[in-house]
Amino acid sequence: IDIHWQQTFSTHKTFRKWLNTPILPFDMTGGSFAGDAVIELNKGETEFKQFKVSLHEAQGVYQTGTFKGVQLQLSSPSQQLGSYKTQQAVTFDSFYAELNSHINELNMGIKANNIDLNGLLYNQLNEWHFKTPLSKATVFSGLVEIQNEDINFNDAIQLELIVDRLDLSELVRTQNMDGLYASGKLSGRIPVHYINGQFNVSDGHMNSIDGGKIRYTTPLSQSTNINDQLKLTFDVLEDFNYTTLNSKIIYDDDTLLFKSAISGRNPTVANGRLINLNLNTEVGLKGALETMRIQSGIDLNIEAFIRSKIKHSNNQYYCQ
């Protein structure tokens, strides 16, 4: 059997409504989905011979964010793909398919743009793998890349994010803390571990490329009843020009910690003497992302998606 399909989506005719199933963890509300599959049926065994799927200008929503401008092609070379034993989930003993995809924007509170996700999706001993020579995205006007990674989704995942020239001012602006401004470009490496549903980072690091500024003005700094150590700190931070910034990144159980060693000077403090600022910045990541989602207005789409529970009928899917 040679199956072809082509479907375009809208806010009223979404991907999940079309497939009449709520089990997909995402939905598509725009763009088109096409594909064809060559299947051989013999005596209770279904073999996928060939398989090609593509998305064009797809947009939609998932549990914690939205995506738009997705061009995707997933295609397998024509040879025995895998067999499907009746009454069992689809088993693929030698499935592999090439993935080429580009996503204009993924917004989870923090925006990732121009994402290129290319590699090989394959199934080995019933475990799904994704192997990529290079996948990348633009975040905070800088580049985040993964190189030569082979991800086994059934096992603990260890990925190294290679970060290049993130713009510190954009990063700080997302926290919209009144009176705080910082500039400079940060590069580094962040090894991310993922194991049974939890992310953690134990020794990520980012360093400034060529220095920058930190300015923090608060009405408090003018008040008289603060101790002189705090007064000096506020004076320094009024116009702190740093030459080096080395930040160690640790993330576990929703707490993101930047342990930064920053050295620089404030020309008007202690006549410009060198200052070593050891700054520990702790952020509750889930709360931060949730606030950023509310601020960017995407939380309404997410809620509509979560609310749209589609009650599919008794396990029968009709193919018109």
Partner 1 sequence: CTPTVKVEASDKPITINLNVKIEHEIRVKVDKELDSILSEDSGLF
Partner 2 sequence: IDLHSAKDQGLVGETPNGYLASPVSAPSADIKALISDINAKRKQKYAQVAAKVAKPLSVVEQLAGKKAIEKTSKGHFIQFPDGQWVKK
Q: Which is nearer to partner 1, 25 or 267 (CB)?
A: 267
Q: Which residue has the tokens 């092609």?
A: 73
Site residues for partner 1, 144-203, by CB under 8 A, read 175, 177
The amino acid at residue 166 is L
Question: By the 8 A CB rule, do 269 and 236 touch?
Answer: yes
Provide the CA 267 distance to its chain's centre, in angstroms: 40
Tokens of 57: 């200008």
Choose among partner 2, partner 1, none what residue 195 binds, the Cβ cut-off being 5 to 8 Å by kind. none
Which position among 77, 133, 272, 297 is part of the footprint of partner 2 (CB under 8 A)? 297
Q: Which residue has the tokens 């929703």?
A: 254
The amino acid at residue 66 is T
Site residues for partner 2, 120-179, by CB under 8 A, read 176-178
By the 10 Å C-beta count (0-12 exposed, 13-18 middle, 19+ buried), 317 is classed as exposed
Stretch that binds partner 2, among 152-160, 186-194, 251-259, 295-303 (CB under 8 A): 295-303
Tokens of 275: 């200052």
Stretch that binds partner 1, among 151-159, 203-211, 273-281, 296-304 (CB under 8 A): 273-281
Nearest distance in Å: CB 30, partner 2: 14
Cβ neighbours of residue 247 closer than 8 Å, sequence gap 6 or more: 186, 188, 205, 206, 207, 258, 259, 260, 261
Nearest distance in Å: CB 102, partner 1: 32
How many beta carbons lie within 10 A of that of residue 65, not counting itself? 22
Cβ neighbours of residue 166 closer than 8 Å, sequence gap 6 or more: 139, 140, 141, 142, 144, 185, 186, 187, 206
Cβ neighbours of residue 183 closer than 8 Å, sequence gap 6 or more: 167, 168, 169, 212, 213
Q: Which of 26, 28, 68, 295 is nearest to 173 (CA)?
A: 295
Count of positions on this chain that bind partner 1 (CB under 8 A): 26
- Judged by DSSP in three states, 179 sits in coil
Stretch that binds partner 1, among 18-26, 60-68, 124-132, 225-233 (CB under 8 A): 225-233
Residue 301 binds partner 2, judged by CB under 8 A: yes
Choose among partner 2, partner 1, none what residue 24 binds, the Cβ cut-off being 5 to 8 Å by kind. none
Residue 303 binds partner 2, judged by CB under 8 A: yes
Please report, in angstroms and rounded to a whole number, the separation of the first and last CA atoms in the chain.
Answer: 15
Stretch that binds partner 1, among 3-11, 17-25, 200-208, 281-289 (CB under 8 A): 281-289
Site residues for partner 1, 14-33, by CB under 8 A, read none
Choose among partner 2, partner 1, none what residue 304 binds, the Cβ cut-off being 5 to 8 Å by kind. partner 2
Nearest distance in Å: CB 175, partner 1: 6
Site residues for partner 1, 37-96, by CB under 8 A, read none
Nearest distance in Å: CB 300, partner 2: 4
Which position among 124, 291, 310, 312 is part of the footprint of partner 2 (CB under 8 A)? 291
Binding site for partner 2 (CB under 8 A): 11, 176-178, 291, 294-295, 297, 299-301, 303-304
Residues that bind partner 1 (CB under 8 A): 175, 177, 227, 229-230, 232-233, 236, 263, 270, 273-284, 287-288, 290-291
